[in-house]
Structures are given as C-alpha cells and as structure tokens.
Chains A and B, each alone.
Chain A
Amino acid sequence: MDREPLLRLHRAADTEPQRRTRRQDHPVITAAQLERIYCSYVAPIYRFIYSRLGNRQEAEDLTSQVFMKSLQYLDPTASPKEIEAYLYQIARTDIADHWRRYAALRVVPLDETPAALDMEEAGEATGPPATETLKADLERVLGLLPPNYRRVIELRFYDGCSIKETARAMEVTIANAKVLQYRAIQRAAALARGERTIP
C-alpha cells in the first residue's frame, strides 16, 4: 500500500486548527460563518447520512449531531475544502458509531493471534460522495442480481410494498418472501463490497 497518505494524515492530525481546539481561546464561530457553512453543507451532509441510515428520523438526528460537533471542533477560518472534509469526517465517524450498535460481540480465541490488522473502514473514500454516484452504484449492483432477487428488492424498496403484497406478487409464502428478501440484500451487500462470487 502507498505510504504517502499515512504520512500526510499524521501531519494533518497536528495542524494548527486542531491544536487550537484544545485551547480555551479557540476562535468563536460568527453568525456569518455559521450561515455560510450551514447553508452550503446541510443538504449534502443530510443526503450522505440518509444514504447510509435509510430513514429520516435517524438521518435528522445524526445531521444535527454532526453540526453540533462542528461547532465544537471546527475552525471557521479553515478553507471551504477543509471544512467540507471535516464535516464528512465527523459524519463518517457518527455513521460508524451508529452501526456499531448492531455489532455482534467478537470473541477471540486466546491462542490465536490474528495475522492481519483489519481495517474495515480504511477503504472508504475521504471526499464527499455525490448522491448520484451512490444511486448509480446501487443501480449497478441491482443490475448484477438474479431476476427474483432484483424483483423482491424493487417491490419492497422502490414500490414500497409490504412483505405480504410482495409475497403475493411473487407467488411465494410470506416466510419465503422474507428469506428471499434477506438473501437478495445479502447478495447485494456482497456485490457492493466488490465480491463477484456467490457467498
């Protein structure tokens, strides 16, 4: 792997704005700065968060949290690019926190030392993703699914059908529709991770 990003990140961690946040005399954000930052980023940040959480309630909660934190940590005099990167960084951290709540307990056997450092989120890009890209990625994934998998996802997520309606449309039992739904999303997740083989 390339070494340069690591070095850059090490330096970035010690930039002046971040050092200043640890001091009490951190520059106070003005109303004009807040307006500029908020109006430019509230919609894209919300969209990004929504694309990961999938419901308005939690997306609104997390968007508020990101902007509240930005008041605490953000240096308003930083460049727009830095501010944007910082907001997305906070959003990514909060999204990861969110999914952590669903995480299963990891049990590690004592006599086995894992061979590799697992960096689940290291593959994530650092720039702001466009919603169009997120959507295009989804459509690409759906296009790769077998027809019945694609159908169950479209019925549920695109048409908003209940599982009962979905089962009727696909002529299967409700229990089978639930299994099909799970398997379809499982396959989609594998495809989105870039796995081409069937899990």
Chain B
Amino acid sequence: MMDRYDRLDRHIDRLLANRRPQPYVAEDDEERAVLEMAARLRLLQPGAEAPRRRFAATMYARLRRLINGPKGTSRRRIVVGGLGGLAAGIIAGLGLAHTNRGPLADLGDRFASPAQALKAAGWAPAGKLQDVPEGGALAFRTSAFSGYIMRKGNQLSALSAICNHMGCHVDWQQESSQFVCPCDGARFDSSGQYQQDAYANAGYGTLQPLTPLAVRKDGDVLYVKPI
C-alpha cells in the first residue's frame, strides 16, 4: 500500500520527466495542496516554461483548419475534451464565481435571502434533503453539471455524474451501491473511486475517479458547487 510520501515521490518523478502524472484521489486537502505546490516548483528548472516550437506550430495549423472548416460546421460543435461541459458552465457563470469570503450574515444587506447569496457565490440548488435516501444517491442536474448527492447516516457528499473516461453519464445502482458507466461498464464505489477488479480484466487499465463536488445545505435545500 502506497502512502502519501510514496505517491508524491512518484508524482514528482513523472513531472521531472515531463510525463503526464496519473491523477488520483488525495486523502485530504493538504495532500492536494502539496501536489499543486510540487507542480509550481517545476519553474525552478530553467528554460522549461517556453512552449516547444513544434507544438506551437502544430496547434496553430490545427486552429487554422478549424476556422477554415467546411461551410456549415458550426463552431459550437467543436468538442473540447475533459470536463468541457462543466467548464463551459463555469465560464458562463464566471462573473458570479468571484464574490465574497464572508459569512452568510454579512451578505444579508446585499442579497434578499441566504439562497440568493449562495447562488451568487456559485452554489447551485440541486434538490431537497428529504429526497436523498439514506445509504442511497439523489441524481440532480443544474445548468452547469449533473451529479449525485449521497447520504450515509449523518453525512452528505456529492460527485459529478460524468465519467472522466469518455464523458458518459454514470448510473447509480442501489443494489451494489455503485456507479456504473453505460459506455464501458466501469464501476465506481460511492466515494467515486474506480473499482479495479470489475474492469481491469478487460485490459483497459485504471480509470480516473469521479470528480467530487462540494455540497452544503441551507434549511432543506441542498446546494452543490465544483471544488
């Protein structure tokens, strides 16, 4: 079993080799902060921060082809990989993302209600507390993303429903307490961790975990936000 010191060391080795690190779920925010700092420390190696000529030229050619594409090719159809949908949603609400650090009470004079203050701070209403079954998951969809809110005893958590592999919407399976991707059959446990055994046999290797979301409640209403 690897601990956080080993994980970081392996991560740094890949950074130093200019190779793509394998994302993993950090145990806590502290571990994530360390990973981010390790990336920043790469600037210490001189000369690494200029783009390679060949990369810049290839990308330019690609962009030019895109704008000169066949007539009727709407730029809306350019598909951007990764969390494109989520990112687009955030971009649309960018103006709202940077607002305030103070407690809700301080916002009282600016917003008519705490609900409004939450929305202005980027929290999206996602459902009612009583709709989340104990030990189960409530599917929700906001204008920016879709996901699940889970309740286990006294605790709430939320995950994006979009599989980081091909961008498919995973389904919650109550019997197994797992998320199942309809596109490739991959399974994730209720904390979003990819379940190795079910999938590795097919030779696909490992998959990234589902993306966690921040969740909070105000009264009976549940709010979610990207972390």
B6: chain A residues at CB < 8 Å are 178
State which of A106, A117, A122, A163 has its C-beta within 8 Å of the C-beta of B227.
Answer: A106
Is the CB–CB distance between A182 and B208 below 8 Å?
A: no
Tell yes or no: A113 within 8 A of B by CB.
yes
B18: chain A residues at CB < 8 Å are 55-57
Given the contacts A104-B27, A158-B44, A110 and B100 also touching, CB distance less than 8 Å: no
Given the contacts A13-B94, A178-B5, A117 and B117 also touching, CB distance less than 8 Å: yes
Is the CB–CB distance between B121 and A119 below 8 Å?
A: yes
In the bound assembly, the distance between CA atoms of A198 and B42 in angstroms comes to 23
In the bound assembly, the distance between CA atoms of A67 and B96 in angstroms comes to 23
Given the contacts A56-B52, A68-B78, A182-B4, A108 and B12 also touching, CB distance less than 8 Å: no
In the bound assembly, the distance between CA atoms of A116 and B151 in angstroms comes to 22
The minimal Cβ–Cβ distance linking A195 to chain B, given in whole angstroms, is 11
Segment among B57-65, B135-143, B167-175, B179-187 that sits at the interface with chain A: B57-65
Tell yes or no: A97 within 8 A of B by CB.
yes
A157: chain B residues at CB < 8 Å are 12, 16, 41-42, 44-45
State which of B9, B24, B59, B96 has its C-beta within 8 Å of the C-beta of A63.
Answer: B59
A111: chain B residues at CB < 8 Å are 154
User: B89-132 interface mask toward A, CB cutoff 8 Å, 1 = contact, 0 = none?
Assistant: 01101111111111110010010000001101111000001000
Given the contacts A13-B96, A28-B75, A121-B98, A179 and B5 also touching, CB distance less than 8 Å: yes
In the bound assembly, the distance between CA atoms of A106 and B227 in angstroms comes to 9
The minimal Cβ–Cβ distance linking B109 to chain A, given in whole angstroms, is 10
In the bound assembly, the distance between CA atoms of A106 and B216 in angstroms comes to 10
The minimal Cβ–Cβ distance linking A72 to chain B, given in whole angstroms, is 5
In the bound assembly, the distance between CA atoms of A46 and B48 in angstroms comes to 11
Tell yes or no: A169 within 8 A of B by CB.
no
The minimal Cβ–Cβ distance linking B130 to chain A, given in whole angstroms, is 12
In the bound assembly, the distance between CA atoms of A97 and B39 in angstroms comes to 15
Is the CB–CB distance between B121 and A108 below 8 Å?
A: no
- Counting chain B CB atoms within 10 Å of each CB, the highest count among A13, A90, A96, A101 belongs to A101
B76: chain A residues at CB < 8 Å are 24, 72
Q: How many B residues touch A, CB cutoff 8 Å?
A: 109
A57: chain B residues at CB < 8 Å are 18-20
B33: chain A residues at CB < 8 Å are 186, 189, 193
Given the contacts A71-B78, A90-B91, A110-B217, A135 and B43 also touching, CB distance less than 8 Å: yes
In the bound assembly, the distance between CA atoms of A24 and B129 in angstroms comes to 39
The minimal Cβ–Cβ distance linking A105 to chain B, given in whole angstroms, is 4
Is the CB–CB distance between A38 and B63 below 8 Å?
A: yes
Tell yes or no: A148 within 8 A of B by CB.
no
Nearest chain B residue, comparing its CB with the CB of A138: B43
Tell yes or no: A77 within 8 A of B by CB.
no
Within 8 A of B (CB), among A33-64: 34, 38, 42-43, 46-47, 50-60, 63-64
Enumerate chain A interface residues (CB-CB to B < 8 A). 1, 3, 5-6, 9-10, 12-13, 24, 26, 28-31, 34, 38, 42-43, 46-47, 50-60, 63-65, 67-69, 71-73, 89-90, 93-94, 96-97, 99-111, 113-122, 124, 126, 131, 134-135, 138, 153-154, 156-158, 160, 162-163, 175, 178-179, 181-182, 185-186, 188-189, 192-193
A-B pairs, 4 with minimum CB distance: A54-B39, A13-B95, A54-B42, A189-B37
Q: Can you name 23 A-B pairs with beta carbons within 8 Å? A: A28-B75, A50-B48, A51-B43, A54-B38, A54-B41, A55-B20, A55-B42, A57-B20, A65-B80, A65-B81, A69-B88, A90-B87, A97-B87, A101-B23, A102-B24, A104-B28, A111-B154, A115-B104, A121-B97, A156-B12, A157-B44, A160-B16, A181-B8
Enumerate chain B interface residues (CB-CB to A < 8 A). 4-6, 8-9, 12-16, 18-21, 23-45, 48-52, 55-56, 59-60, 62-64, 66-68, 74-76, 78, 80-84, 86-88, 90-91, 93-104, 107, 110, 117-118, 120-123, 129, 151, 154-159, 164, 191-192, 208-209, 211-218, 226-227
